[in-house]
A = this chain, B = another copy of it.
């Protein structure tokens, strides 16, 4: 299971479940998402298998924390996963399913609004990744090609996220202008890409 192995990777540095959730959201979420309600029981399972161990710690604020870290057996398991073949899962994109059938509605304006909203979604994600990259680049003059091996690999994964999202946006832009060109001329002013607000015809 991938979540288990990602947790093992992160737990090379000791952390609590709550800490791990923050790391997921900040640095991992572009290729793997996880909720706390999944992280906690998974940590329990890893501990029962002796891949991680935990100790109690106090917290500045709020309830006590449980700090986990990797055991030698856990590190062995992590390395076996890393040395194994790449794992591919089926990719599922519901919005492409919607687009696939959208001809059913026969409404180019709706298709355009749909594509613009898809574009916005990806643009926001791209902005987040780019700002992550910018911060890193500014903080470390070795970025990207003279980073230590560990960080270099992290950077490759980040770069993948950025390139992918750029390609998503390219497709959105291309699709928006091609769909706009298909719209009946009479409707262009209402929904087209260069709609002029407040000029009724």
Contacts and interface: CB of A to CB of B under 8 A. Distances in A.
Number of copies: 2
Interface size class of A (residues with CB under 8 A): 35 or more
A97 B160 contact: no
Contacts of A85: 117
A47 B88 CA distance: 33
Nearest to A81: B98
A164 B170 CA distance: 10
A117 B175 contact: no
B145 A92 contact: no
Interface of A: 2, 5-6, 9, 12, 28-29, 31-33, 78-79, 81-106, 108, 110-111, 114, 117-118, 121, 144-145, 148-154, 156-157, 159-161, 163-164, 166-168, 170-171, 174-175, 178-179, 181-182
